[in-house]
Amino acid sequence: MKIAVFVSGGGTNLQAIIDRINSGELKNVEIALVIASNDSAYALTRASDNGIPSVVMSVKSYPSREEWDDAVVAKLKEVGAELIVLAGYLSLLGAKTVKEFSNKIINIHPALIPSFCGKGMYGIKPHEAALARGVKVSGATVHLVNENYDEGPILLQKCVDILPDDTPEVLQKRIMKECEQVILPKAISLFAEGKVEIKNNIAYVKE
């Protein structure tokens, strides 16, 4: 299965996918392309270090959002992407991309949706909000993507306990390592095995 991975920043989730492919844990998956929203994303270096093709497609460098959306769809079709993985991608995909790849786009979010999600809730912010609210567990969610932030069907979630000395940064690191980097490769593997089913806006894992 060919996947395209969208990134905006450090690319630790991209690295987790690369590592699982290289170790043989993630079978029948090839990263056909990495698409970055900006040229300073360190994820681009991770792609080139691993011989993975990458491209920067920033909405700002197109005359309109529609033209950017068209170009993204054309690029995804050109490389034969069968699954789109948003791995720390901080922009909203275009309507055409979402429609063309309906139920074939997943996102990793650093909180237990429906808590601490939606527009503006990215990076460190969900962790700051979780600690400020005093929750006792937090974690990460892999969900299908529709045209709104963090609203598509939930596929996988994993949680960790909040510990007494947690700061947003400490919690973020723990959730990245113990939750995100576990459930994102797992979700890709479920797609590769044809085990994901969506019915009435609910995602199911077929046994």
Spatial separation of the C-alpha atoms in residues 123 and 38, rounded to whole Å? 16
Spatial separation of the C-alpha atoms in residues 64 and 202, rounded to whole Å? 33
* Cβ pair 28, 102 in contact under 8 A: no
CA dihedral over 82, 190, 99, 69, signed as positive or negative:
negative
Q: Which of 20, 109, 127, 143 is catalytic?
A: 109
Nearest CB to ligand GAR, comparing residues 16 and 196: 16
Judged by CB under 6 A, the stretch of 52-60, 108-116, 158-166, 199-207 that binds ligand GAR is: 108-116
The 7-46 contact track toward ligand GAR, x by CB under 6 A, reads x-xxxxx-----------------------------x---
Q: Does 6 bind ligand GAR (CB under 6 A)?
A: no
Nearest CB to ligand GAR, comparing residues 31 and 108: 108
Q: Does 52 bind ligand GAR (CB under 6 A)?
A: no
Task: Work out how close the CB of 61 gets to ligand GAR at its nearest, in angstroms, rounded to a whole number.
Answer: 21
109 is a catalytic site residue: yes
Spatial separation of the C-alpha atoms in residues 96 and 186, rounded to whole Å? 27
Spacing of C-alpha 198 from chain mean position: 18
In which element (H, E) is residue 189 found?
Answer: helix 181-192
DSSP, res 77? H
Task: Work out how close the CB of 110 gets to ligand GAR at its nearest, in angstroms, rounded to a whole number.
Answer: 4
Q: Does 5 bind ligand GAR (CB under 6 A)?
A: no
Q: Which of 86, 6, 80 is nearest to 47 (CA)?
A: 6
> What is the contact surface with ligand GAR in residues (CB under 6 A)?
7, 9-13, 43, 87-88, 90, 108-110, 122-123, 176, 180
